[in-house]
Amino acid sequence: MLYAVFMSATLPPIPAPQEPVGEPELLQLSAAEDEPCLRADAARNRAALLEAATRLIAEHGAAGVTMEAVAAAAKVGKGTVFRRFGDRTGLLMALLDHSAKKLQADFLGGPAPLGPGAPPLERLRAFGVAVLYRTHEQLDLQLAAQPEPTRRFGLPPTRALTMHVTVLLRQLVPDADCELLARMLMGYLDPALIHHLTKQCGMPMDRLEAGWVDLVARVTCTPQSR
Amino acid sequence: MLYAVFMSATLPPIPAPQEPVGEPELLQLSAAEDEPCLRADAARNRAALLEAATRLIAEHGAAGVTMEAVAAAAKVGKGTVFRRFGDRTGLLMALLDHSAKKLQADFLGGPAPLGPGAPPLERLRAFGVAVLYRTHEQLDLQLAAQPEPTRRFGLPPTRALTMHVTVLLRQLVPDADCELLARMLMGYLDPALIHHLTKQCGMPMDRLEAGWVDLVARVTCTPQSR
DNA sequence: ACCCTAAGCGGACTGCGGTCCAGTTTTGTT
DNA sequence: AACAAAACTGGACCGCAGTCCGCTTAGGGT
């Protein structure tokens, strides 16, 4: 289960500080393909680093993942870690990459009700529930991987999800401001919020799930509220 | 305009790491009253620190506010800053304290449509718009003051706002899960989101405002969508 | 006016994220 | 096989948030 992860890449080798674009642009499905084949040794080190990070998380929780520790555990210099992943957040996101890709594949081409084939409303419901549980499973990692507020919404994975929701919404409520609505719905799925509601307020997941369904119903002005 | 700010306190002198409570508890209006009268010198230093911080922000932006720099500018030891404000976030939040208190007073006891006296729906609309613009005015500070994800939702100011929305919602849609709905609506007002939409996507504030009104309409199942 | 104690103070110290660059390895070219 | 450019490496180095602890001082009690 691990090795697939180690081989998939997310970030450009040297992520030049990319200026955010003013216009929402076309869906950038596979945000990867940024790795124009690493040099042999680099690839090896990359895998070693991800493996080390995984081990450290398992042992000391996501909080215990120090860049220096990961470097040491992978028997590699600190600079190498940064060169490969840009920063701490980048490393952690690389660990989430596998599951992110899978989710994306599921709702883009997987079986109904998540994938195409089901009516939009059902897909939207299923989407929220799927994200909800995925996030719940990986809470600590998701939280630790949260970048500084300024970048939170610009990252490829988030944008892909938001875009998907936007598209579904456009089918359901064509004459609303679907971009805003989508952003909003995504807010409900924010890892930090899920953490707060479940861990700090003690809400069970069913309630969050029901909340999502209800929310979708309200936003789309569908009946069946609760 | 400045001095009122410097005199109002927000944080307990030595903020013991408070465990978050499992139960949502009663509205804790004035989250202050935590300062059981500082010693004269301490109060003086506190004011000096806030003033220094304000100056630094004006000169170098919120990003340039280093704890050491603030301490130096206020001619005070670094330890003093931390003792007084707990951490960087605490210091920045103290700077926002004044405007937070004002907002709170406005919707708790101020004139309609924000305060009591207007029907709940109007109040809710007005509330969102008010928060929207307040946040927009202080964007950099608000962003910089954003705590780590784990604490984002537990802080007194946020809780007060959420509670207010919850109460309004209960009047509007009594048999919905108003807590979740409120949390959701608050998500739309997240400083990070506002920053992203306005600064990175170039949306004008009117659109966000319209988005809020529409959102409220949908969530409460009121007509007048758009 | 003096003293005693708790509150406050400051700056040395630690740990981590992130940068830098001189040196090394890989890979394509002739 | 030899070479040169490009890519990668490692660890010294920097700045900042946050901690710690011995010293100072305010201010109530007598």
Measured between beta carbons, which residues in chain A are less than 8 angstroms from residue B154?
196, 200
Give the residue-averaged pLDDT of B94-102.
94
Give the residue-averaged pLDDT of A106-127.
94
B26 pLDDT higher than 70: no
pLDDT confidence band for A26 (50 / 70 / 90): very low
Find out whether A108 and A81 touch, Cβ atoms under 8 Å.
no
Structure-token match 């007073």, residue found: B105
DSSP string of A47-62, one letter each residue: HHHHHHHHHHHHHHTG
Query: Taking all atoms of strand C, which protein residues have CB closer than 7 Å?
Result: A 39-41, 65-68, 78-79, 82-83, 87-89; B 13, 38-39, 41-42, 44-45, 76-80, 82-84
Q: Which chain B residue has the Cα nearest residue A188?
A: B184
Contact A187/B190, CB-based, under 8 Å? yes
Give pLDDT tens digits for B113-145.
999 999 999 999 999 999 999 999 999 999 999
Window from A22-26, A52-56, A193-197, B105-109 with minimum mean pLDDT: A22-26
pLDDT at position A129: 97
- CB of B214 less than 8 A from some CB of A: yes
pLDDT confidence band for A28 (50 / 70 / 90): very low
pLDDT at position B36: 67
DSSP string of B5-73, one letter each residue: HHH---S-SS---PPPPSS----------------HHHHHHHHHHHHHHHHHHHHHTGGG--HHHHHHH
pLDDT at position A35: 58
Contact B175/A200, CB-based, under 8 Å? no
CA distances in angstroms from A50 to A41, A85, A91, A137, A141, listed in the order given:
14, 10, 8, 19, 13
pLDDT at position A212: 97
Please, which residues 132-171 of chain A have a Cβ atom closer than 8 Å to chain B?
143, 146, 149-150, 152-154
CB-count burial class (<10 Å; 0-12, 13-18, 19+) for B82: middle
pLDDT confidence band for B205 (50 / 70 / 90): very high
Closest CA to A163 of A145, A175, A181: A181
Give the residue-averaged pLDDT of A75-88.
93
A75 pLDDT higher than 60: yes
Closest residue to C26 measured CA to C1′: A39
HSE on the CB side for B181, CA within 13 Å?
Answer: 31
Q: Which chain B residue has the Cα nearest residue A144?
A: B149
pLDDT at position A224: 67
B18 pLDDT higher than 60: no
- Whether the beta carbon of A81 falls within 7 A of nucleic chain D: the reply is no
Contact B219/A214, CB-based, under 8 Å? no
CA distances in angstroms from A75 to A5, A124, B16, listed in the order given:
20, 45, 39
B7 pLDDT higher than 50: no
The Å distance, CA of A64 to C1' of D6, is 35
pLDDT at position A34: 53
Give the rounded percent of residues in chain B with a pLDDT score beyond 70.
Answer: 83
Average pLDDT of chain A is 85
Give pLDDT tens digits for A202-221.
999 999 999 999 999 999 98
B14 pLDDT higher than 60: no
Give the distance from CA B108 to its chain's centroid: 15
Q: Which chain B residue has the Cα nearest residue A198?
A: B22
pLDDT confidence band for A20 (50 / 70 / 90): very low
Give pLDDT tens digits for B39-91.
888 889 999 999 999 999 999 999 999 999 999 999 999 999 999 999 999 99
Give the residue-averaged pLDDT of A161-176.
96
User: Would you tell me how many other CB atoms lie within 10 Å of the CB of residue B172?
Assistant: 19
